[in-house]
Amino acid sequence: MKCVIAVDAMGGDFAPHNTVLGAIEAFHESGEFKLLLVGKKNAIIDEIKSNNLKFDEKYIINADEIIDMHDHPTETMKTKPNSSMAVGAKLVKAGEAHAFVSAGNTGAMVVNSIFGMGRIKGVSRPTLTAPLPNDKGGFTFLADVGAFVDSKPQHIFEFAILSKILIENVYGIENPRVGILNVGEEESKGYKLTSDASKLLKDSQLNFIGNVEGNDIFKSTADLVVCDGFIGNIILKFAESIIPFLKSTFKNYAELGLTNKLKIGMVKGPLKEALKNANADNLGGLPLLGVDGISIIGHGSSSPLAIKNMVLRAKVMYDKDIVNKIKGTLSDYAE
Amino acid sequence: MKCVIAVDAMGGDFAPHNTVLGAIEAFHESGEFKLLLVGKKNAIIDEIKSNNLKFDEKYIINADEIIDMHDHPTETMKTKPNSSMAVGAKLVKAGEAHAFVSAGNTGAMVVNSIFGMGRIKGVSRPTLTAPLPNDKGGFTFLADVGAFVDSKPQHIFEFAILSKILIENVYGIENPRVGILNVGEEESKGYKLTSDASKLLKDSQLNFIGNVEGNDIFKSTADLVVCDGFIGNIILKFAESIIPFLKSTFKNYAELGLTNKLKIGMVKGPLKEALKNANADNLGGLPLLGVDGISIIGHGSSSPLAIKNMVLRAKVMYDKDIVNKIKGTLSDYAE
Residue A134 CA to residue A218 CA, distance in Å, equals 4
Contacts of A152 in chain B (CB under 8 A): none
Delimiting residues of CATH 3.40.50.10950 domain(s) in chain A: 1-123+281-335
Please indicate whether, in this complex, the C-beta atoms of A183 and B264 are within 8 angstroms of each other: no
CATH topology of domain B1-121+282-321: Isopropylmalate Dehydrogenase (3.40.718)
Please indicate whether, in this complex, the C-beta atoms of B218 and A135 are within 8 angstroms of each other: no
Q: Are A137 and A277 in contact (CB under 8 A)?
A: yes
Give pLDDT, residue B265. Answer: 80
- Please tell me which residue of chain A has the smallest CA distance to B147: A183
| Interface with A, mutate which of B148, B183, B261 (most A CBs under 10 A) | B183
Which secondary structure element, helix H or strand E, spans residue B322, and what is its range? helix B322-334
Residue B104 CA to residue B12 CA, distance in Å, equals 4
Give pLDDT, residue A55. Answer: 95
Please indicate whether, in this complex, the C-beta atoms of B190 and A239 are within 8 angstroms of each other: no
Nearest to A249 among B135, B182, B233 (CB): B135
Beta bridge partners, B296, equal B101, B287
- Please tell me which residue of chain A has the smallest CA distance to B70: A186
pLDDT tens for chain A, 335 residues long, are 799 999 999 999 999 999 999 999 999 999 899 999 999 999 999 999 999 999 999 999 999 999 998 899 999 999 999 999 999 999 999 999 999 999 999 999 999 999 999 999 999 999 999 999 999 989 999 999 999 999 999 999 999 999 999 999 999 999 999 999 999 888 778 899 999 999 999 999 999 999 999 999 999 999 999 999 999 999 999 999 998 998 888 888 888 888 888 877 877 777 787 787 777 777 889 999 999 999 999 999 999 999 999 999 999 999 999 999 999 998 876 55
Question: Around Cβ A255, how many Cβ atoms within 10 Å?
Answer: 11
Contacts of A191 in chain B (CB under 8 A): 149-150, 230
Smallest Cα–Cα separation from B316: which of B287, B291, B277, B292?
A: B287
Please indicate whether, in this complex, the C-beta atoms of A218 and B229 are within 8 angstroms of each other: no
Give pLDDT, residue A154. Answer: 96
Nearest to B137 among A184, A216, A252 (CB): A252
Please indicate whether, in this complex, the C-beta atoms of A234 and B231 are within 8 angstroms of each other: yes
Question: Around Cβ B58, how many Cβ atoms within 10 Å?
Answer: 7
Strands B4-8 and B34-39: parallel
Please indicate whether, in this complex, the C-beta atoms of A253 and B236 are within 8 angstroms of each other: no
Range in A203-207, B97-101, B219-223, B267-271 the model is least confident about: B267-271
| Residues 6 or more apart in contact with residue A22 via CB below 8 angstroms | A302, A303, A304, A305, A306, A307, A308, A310, A311
Smallest Cα–Cα separation from B140: which of B182, B183, B171?
A: B171
Q: For the CA atoms of A209, A215, A218, A219, what is the dihedral angle to 10 degrees?
A: -60
Residue A253 CA to residue B151 CA, distance in Å, equals 39
| Interface with B, mutate which of A140, A183, A220, A276 (most B CBs under 10 A) | A183
Delimiting residues of CATH 3.40.718.10 domain(s) in chain A: 124-240
pTM here is: 0.95
pLDDT, tens digit (0-9, with 9 covering 90-100), for B30-71: 889 999 999 999 999 999 999 999 999 999 999 999 999 889
ipTM value? 0.94
Residue A28 CA to residue B193 CA, distance in Å, equals 49
Residue B276 CA to residue B274 CA, distance in Å, equals 6
Task: Decide which of B325 and A282 is more confident.
Answer: B325
The shortest C-alpha distance from B229 to chain A (Å) reads 9
- Please tell me which residue of chain A has the smallest CA distance to B270: A263
- In the three-class reduction of DSSP (H, G, I as helix; E, B as strand; rest coil), residue A18 is classed as helix
**CA within 13 Å, CB half, B307:** 33
In chain B, the percentage of residues whose pLDDT exceeds 70 is 99
Please indicate whether, in this complex, the C-beta atoms of A191 and B275 are within 8 angstroms of each other: no
Which secondary structure element, helix H or strand E, spans residue A19, and what is its range? helix A17-30
Q: Are A200 and A157 in contact (CB under 8 A)?
A: yes
CATH of domain A124-240: 3.40.718.10
Count residue pairs from A and B with Cβ separation < 8 A.
Answer: 172
The shortest C-alpha distance from B252 to chain A (Å) reads 7
Residue B312 CA to residue B323 CA, distance in Å, equals 16
Contacts of A252 in chain B (CB under 8 A): 135-137, 274
Please indicate whether, in this complex, the C-beta atoms of B238 and A252 are within 8 angstroms of each other: no
Q: In whole angstroms, how large is the CA radius of gyration of chain B?
A: 21
Q: Domain A1-123+281-335 has what CATH class?
A: alpha beta
Which secondary structure element, helix H or strand E, spans residue A73, and what is its range? none
Angle at B258 between CA B252 and CA B263, to 5 degrees: 70
Give all strands (DSSP E) within chain B, no chain letters: 4-8, 34-39, 60-62, 99-102, 127-133, 139-143, 177-181, 207-212, 224-226, 286-289, 294-297
pLDDT, tens digit (0-9, with 9 covering 90-100), for B274-312: 787 777 777 889 999 999 999 999 999 999 999 999 999
B218 phi/psi in degrees, rounded to 5? -75, -15
